[in-house]
A and B are shown apart, each in its own frame.
Chain A
Amino acid sequence: MSEEIKEKSGIRMPSCDKLIVSSSPHIQSRSSVAGIMFKVIIALVPAMAASVYFFGFAALKLLVLTAFFCVAAEALWCMIAGKSVKTAIFDGSAVVSGLILAMNFSPATPWYVCLIGAFLAIWLGKQVFGGIGYNPFNPAIVARVALLIALPGLMTIWVPTTKMVETAQHGISQNEAYSRTFFSAADWRKLQDSVGKNASVDVVTCATPLSMVSEIPKNTDIGAKNVFSHIDNRTAWKNYFLGNVSGSLGETSTLAIIVGCFLLIIWKLINWRVPVFFVGTVFVFTGMINFFYPGITPSPVFHVLTGGLMLGAVFMATDMVTSPVTNRGSALFGVGCGLITSVIRIWGNYPEGVSFAILFMNALVPFIDKMFIRLPFGTPKKQGAGK
């Protein structure tokens, strides 16, 4: 080792025996996949905090549990497949998938559903295709849709937020409660009963605004317009925007998700066109239907603020791996998601269509990318027109 440093009249010269010789560029930016995933987690923090605020400890438990199960599922697959467990876990993608999947769960979801969901997301959604980067569909959405179809009973137990329970405890009238908390009459009675008996509110279920809309034909006692007037007004909008609404963890606060969206756009982690065109299309399309046939569907503001639209548009449709790489492709992708979501919400059998829409558009991404092949710098606009 004494040879390594050649001393020549006090000048230290390199030994040159450990030089890296490679093709340029010789420097690289410090960004990494793990760094990107970490930033996505940071952007999820406002939405996660809102869910904990509105649903309490149950939400926190679900988030931690699902993320843990996802990491465990990833590790287990890598062990079986003989891949490096360390690199797979430390890229952070499993944690992100887990957190986003948890945001799709109702606070009343049992732990074993989280476990099944985690394996569906990581194994069926990602690893069978070859792991990170190769999955055609967003893993969290694969798990959500699979669970929704396989275990519909367990995936649609909705519970009131802690704020709603407080409202019920203060003993306000049913009519007032309607305008503030959007229960169906039966739910309201159940909630009041359980509050009266000091039972745990965890067991009380209630409908989400969207499920109420989809169940209108069954409610013979209240007509569509009557329901709309309760769930689609300024007070209700304010509650939806801030997050005081039943639903899955990520369906509560629109505000928190918008904060996350801004972070993602500022950090250049998502193409702003996807959420903007997605939400914009839903707004315009439902707005048109609402304008021409007001009895069919609530106002566009209601559609934008309720359900998983914001969560899906900001955190799931924008998944880098499963969304188009070009700007025009991203816009088309967003419009497609928005259209399918609106159609399912208005005429479909399911109350919510965001995850189906994203899943469907994910499948089209390779074609969208082909549609918008980029012309190299300097290509004439009408290529080969003269030939």
Chain B
Amino acid sequence: MSRYPFNISTFRGGIHPENDGKKLSKDVSIRTAPLFEYYNIALQQNIGAAPKWVVNVGDTVKKGQKIAEADGFVSAPLHAPTSGVVEKIEKCPGGMGICVETLVLKSDMLDEACEFYPRIDWKECAVEDLKQRIADCGIVGMGGAAFPTSVKLSVPPDKKITDLIINGAECEPYLTADHRLMLECPEKVLIGASIMGRILGIENVHIGVEMNKVDAIETLIEHNKPYNIDIIGLDVRYPQGAEKQIIYAVTKRKVPAGGLPMDAGAVVQNVATAVAIAEAVIEGKPLFERITTVTGEAVKTPGNWRLRIGTPLVKVLELAEGIVEEPAKIILGGPMMGFAQKSLNGSIQKNSGGLVLLPPSKVTQYSSSPCIRCGRCLNACPMNINPSYLGTVIENEKFDLAMNNNVMDCIECGACAYICPAHRPLVQHIRRAKAEIRSRMASQKQSVNKK
């Protein structure tokens, strides 16, 4: 079952970067990184509550051993990436630019594994067991959001889910980790998808892949026979992989404004998450490694690496044989929505799909000029809001006007700021307004509560 190649789906709006940088690494097979001496594991690697450490400084741990346990429902445990000694637990600069609690694991270079979870026959076992396994293995959304997957798969009884969409769009420029994963582990992608389909109790499982990865689509179709999953070609357009956009592209249903995907009867999961789920269920392996693209014109040998969570970014860059020119920006994640780093002190996290080093020629720092109302941001906006107008009113601190013009519906994809010929920081203005409005609403609530 496949709609490809006769029906290419898409959403309204979006952009396509002139140079998507994917050719740097899309043909480079996934390689497994060697063992390193130190791993820095940040405590909070998921949206929601941070887990709690279950090991102390000086403890010896083995690969796959739980080192932090979930604290609450929306939380996810952490597992040791290799065997060694917990050297310290301290605040270190993390990938987001703020200091975060981090566990420094000194490897004993033996890479001894503890006993993983028992294998489960996913076709026969109870659905609750599968959900429990996903929670136990610390699986979070690996496309970037890092929302605990078990929570996303626990749908409230009043919502009816009809479609599961596995997101293989990988619309971020430069990143090719998901592409390689679909090419090299198609079975695991399909099994992971089927497992989630079984958990949700639905038949309609789709995998959406952008048409710049036709080889991945064909590989998936080749292996699809026993799974009968709907594999869909998606138009090459950013942000094709955004939740609301991919739901519309695949099912032609719109998530209500301000609503969640489940309000449109859909659940979206990344392909890397699907693979992690397949490994957790059929191999019993907890999430302690992931595929990350190390790329950018400044990198000597771009490629895709199987990296353990906590691998220091310096070591990651050494794998790519360093740089050929001084980068202007180091980005953890993709160039459209990732986080610019101020140093290489951070480490790989569960949601780090890429480490991109851009040379100065790719990161021109333009000075912004007044809006000339060309309307390109309006055409690019996948949420059909008016970034041009919002940018102007937010510049003048008119947050009420911004609020009335649907600023809160913005998904912060950055297509507007990408396309703006006047180089206006539109999405940045919008982020500022959203934060301001949220804090005002919170303080309003507080003052109401006091009364």
Q: Which residues does A use to contact B, with CB under 8 Å?
A: 4-5, 8, 11-16, 18-33, 35-36, 87, 91, 130-134, 268-269, 271, 320-321, 323, 325-326, 369, 373-380
Write out the residue numbers on chain A whose beta carbons fall within 8 Å of the beta carbon of B339: 24
Selected interface stretch from B71-79, B102-110, B423-431: B423-431
B405 CB, min distance to chain A CBs, angstroms: 7
Are the C-beta atoms of A26 and B340 separated by less than 8 Å?
yes
Instruction: Please tell me the number of chain B residues within 8 Å of chain A, measured between CB atoms.
Output: 80
Contacts of A375 in B (CB 8 A): 257, 384, 406
The segment from B23-31, B123-131, B320-328 found at the interface with A is B320-328
Additional pairs, 19, CB under 8 Å, beyond known A20-B363, A24-B338, A133-B422: A16-B330, A18-B328, A19-B327, A19-B328, A19-B329, A21-B329, A22-B340, A23-B427, A24-B331, A29-B420, A29-B421, A32-B421, A35-B421, A36-B374, A326-B378, A376-B385, A377-B12, A377-B254, A378-B254
Q: How far is the CA of A285 from the CA of B358 in the complex (A)?
A: 57
Q: Which residues of A contact B362 (CB under 8 A)?
A: 27
Q: Are B418 and A378 in contact (CB under 8 A)?
A: no
Pick from A27, A32, A271: contact of B358, CB under 8 Å: A27
B338:A13 contact, CB within 8 angstroms: no
Taking CB atoms, residues of chain A closer than 8 Å to B254 are 377-378
Chain B 408-451: CB-based contact to A (< 8 A → 1; otherwise 0): 01000010011111110101100100000000000000000000
Contact B418 A13 (CB under 8 A): no
The SS class assigned to the A binding surface is loop
CB distance from B323 to the nearest CB of A (A): 5
Contact B373 A19 (CB under 8 A): no
Q: Which residues of A contact B367 (CB under 8 A)?
A: 87
Contact B318 A24 (CB under 8 A): no
Given the known A-B contacts A13-B323, A16-B342, A20-B363, are A26 and B336 also in contact in the complex, defined by CB atoms under 8 Å? yes
User: Do A33 and B335 touch across chains, with their CB atoms under 8 A apart?
Assistant: no
What is the bound-complex CA distance between A379 and B373, given in angstroms? Answer: 24
How far apart sit A133 and B366, CA to CA, in the bound complex (Å)? 17
Select A21's contact among B97, B369, B409, beta carbons within 8 Å: B97
How far does the alpha carbon of A373 sit from the alpha carbon of B244 in the complex, in Å? 21
| Contact A376-B409, Cβ < 8 Å, known A26-B331, A27-B173, A29-B418 | yes
Contact between chains at B375 and A29 (CB < 8 Å): no
A268 to B172, CA, bound (A): 24
Residues of B within 8 A of A25 (CB): 335-337, 414, 417-418, 427
Judge whether B314 is part of the interface by a CB distance below 8 angstroms: yes
Contact A8 B318 (CB under 8 A): yes
Most chain-A Cβ atoms within 10 A of its Cβ — which of B12, B343, B373?
B373
Say yes or no: A28 contacts B418, CB within 8 Å: yes
Minimum distance in angstroms from B425 CB to a CB of chain A: 8
Chain B 337-381 residues near chain A, CB threshold 8 A: 337-344, 356-358, 362-367, 369-376, 378
- What residues on A are CB-neighbors of B259 within 8 Å? 378
**CB closest residue in chain B, given A132:** B370
- Contact pick for A377, options B244, B335, B366, B378, CB 8 Å: B244
